[in-house]
Structure formats: C-alpha cells, structure tokens
Amino acid sequence: MLHDQRSGLSSYVSSLLSMGQTVFTVDEAEQALGVRRGAFLDAAERLQRRKALLHPRQGFYVAVPAQFASWGGPPPAWYIDELMRHERRAYYVGLLKAAELHGATHQAAMEFQVVSDKRLPRFRAGRNLIVFLFRRDMEAVAAGIEERKTDTGTMKISSPALTALDLLRYPQACAGIDNIATVLSDLGWKIDATQLATLSVHVERSVVQRLGHLLDRLGFRSLTAPMLNALQARQPLAWTELDRQRATDPDFALEPCERDTRWRVIVRRAPEPDE
C-alpha cells in the first residue's frame, strides 16, 4: 500500500509537470489522490529525499523538473508568485535580484531577494537561497511595483526607481556601498525621475539623501532634481553619513571628510564602483 501511495504521488507530480505546472498544495494532492494526510506526507518526504520535490512552506510543494534535478529545484521565479499567494502576503522581487532583472549585470545576485509585508524566514531551495526583507508600507510604493513575465506565469518586481531606493534602504543585504554604487551605475539609465521623486516621499530622508548623493556622483544628476525638491519640501535636512559603518570604524572616524552640501551627506571614503 505504501509503495502504491508513493507511486501515486510521483505520477501526480509527473502529470502536473507535463501540463506545465510546478506547484501544488497538500489539499490539492490529497483530493486528487484520495489519500489521508499521513499517507501523503510519507510519500512526499520520500520524493523530497529523491530531490524530486521541494517543500518551501507548510502545505506548499514545488515539483522539480528533470532539467533542474542537478540544481535541486527550478528557478524561484517559476513559483514565487504562487508561493506568496499561498502565504496571502503582498510582495515584490527586489534589491540586487530586481537590479539584475533590469539589466544591472556587473554582478549576478547571489540571493533571490523578496520584499514582503511580513517577516518570513529565509530558506534554501536546492542551489537557490530565497531571502525575505520586511516592508510595512507596501501600498505606499505600489506605483513602483511591476509585473514581469516568467516561464510559468508572472511575478512582481520593483521598478528601477524603487529598486534604487531599496538598495540604500537595505544596504546590509546589498554587500556595501561599493557594490551599491556599481549596481546604480548600470541601473541609473533606466530610472524614471518623476517616479523616483514620487516614491522617495515614502522613504526615510537619510535613504533619499544617500541615494541622491550616489546618483550625482555617478553622473545621473538629471535624475535627482525632482527628488531633491520633494525632499526639501518635507523639512530641513540633517547631516547623514553615506556609510554608517564607516562612521563607527575607528580607522575612518577621525579621517578628513568630504561633505556634500547639496544632499548634506558626509563621505568618509569615496565609493569605488567596479568598472
């Protein structure tokens, strides 16, 4: 009987893949196979050990097509939209991964970064590490969320403007100021200045100041005037550090500083983007 249940689930997974579907829920599988929860979980665990099935969240499964067996799973873009619908959470693919999708190709993203309105734990799906970052005000930045076609449907990603703001909002997830500057040097050509200014109103002032300074430094000053006007309309600007880690590093804290009076940004070391 156990062998039959396992074979039944394997056949079910194969039939889904043949129809171009890679995800299913435990309820859908139990109903299709006519088995109880315990029998399903036993069969699913065996398929997971064979690397034929992923289980990224409770009740949610991803079938692994043969061409991705050596990777341990299909690309997260194939199932992230359905996963987040299963979680009933607002989301978008963002930061370095969104920048890569927009053509910032200096460095491939090492993580599949997702911004969500709930704190979710990261998980590994074969070779892919899916990392979640928290944003409370998802509706406020809705104008900067786009739909992108994937091989299995669509997913939501941040626009170039929202991506740029997020790079400075979550610097710990972006490998530091030098890497952020490198990404912005590629991404800047695709940023819409009007959208950037509109979205910047919903972001911390210090984040906007740092981004404005970097875009100016990288030669994108034409993008930043509307954002600066929006920023100055909020209230007088306090000085902020470009790299807060540098400010607390004793090797840099006493060094002479560059001061950008336009954005009121203190620069202890000029960023060095890759060529």
Contact of 51 with 64, CB cutoff 8 Å: yes
Contact of 121 with 131, CB cutoff 8 Å: no
Q: Average pLDDT, stretch 137-153?
A: 95
In this prediction, residue 126 carries a pLDDT of 87
Report all structural domains of the chain as residue ranges with CATH numbers, in order of start.
Answer: 2-71 (1.10.10.10), 80-267 (no CATH)
Lowest mean pLDDT among 6-10, 57-61, 207-211, 254-258: 254-258
CA atoms within 13 A on the CB side of 172: 5
Q: What is the rounded CA–CA span in Å between residue 100 and residue 170?
A: 16
Residue 158 has pLDDT above 70, yes or no: yes
Q: Could you tell me the pLDDT band of residue 248, with boundaries at 50, 70 and 90?
A: low
Q: What is the mean pLDDT of the chain?
A: 91
Helix orientation angle between 176-187 and 160-169, rounded to the nearest 10 degrees: 170
For the chain, the maximum distance between any two Cα atoms, rounded to a whole number of angstroms, is 75
The answer for residues whose C-beta is within 8 angstroms of residue 129's C-beta and 6 or more apart is 110, 111, 112, 122, 123
Query: Do β-strands 240-241 and 265-267 pair in parallel, antiparallel, or remain unpaired?
Result: parallel
Q: Average pLDDT, stretch 129-143?
A: 96
Contact of 273 with 104, CB cutoff 8 Å: no
Tens digits of residue pLDDT in 166-196? 999 999 999 999 999 999 999 999 999 999 9
Q: Average pLDDT, stretch 252-273?
A: 85
Q: What is the rounded CA–CA span in Å between residue 201 and residue 245?
A: 25
Q: Average pLDDT, stretch 250-269?
A: 82
Q: Could you tell me the pLDDT band of residue 83, with boundaries at 50, 70 and 90?
A: very high
Residue with tokens 């000053």: 221
Residue 254 has pLDDT above 70, yes or no: no
Model pTM greater than 0.85? yes
Q: What is the rounded CA–CA span in Å between residue 95 and residue 258?
A: 27
Q: Could you tell me the pLDDT band of residue 107, with boundaries at 50, 70 and 90?
A: low
Stretch (H or E) spanning 58: none
Closest CA relative to residue 54, chosen from 23, 88, 80, 9: 23
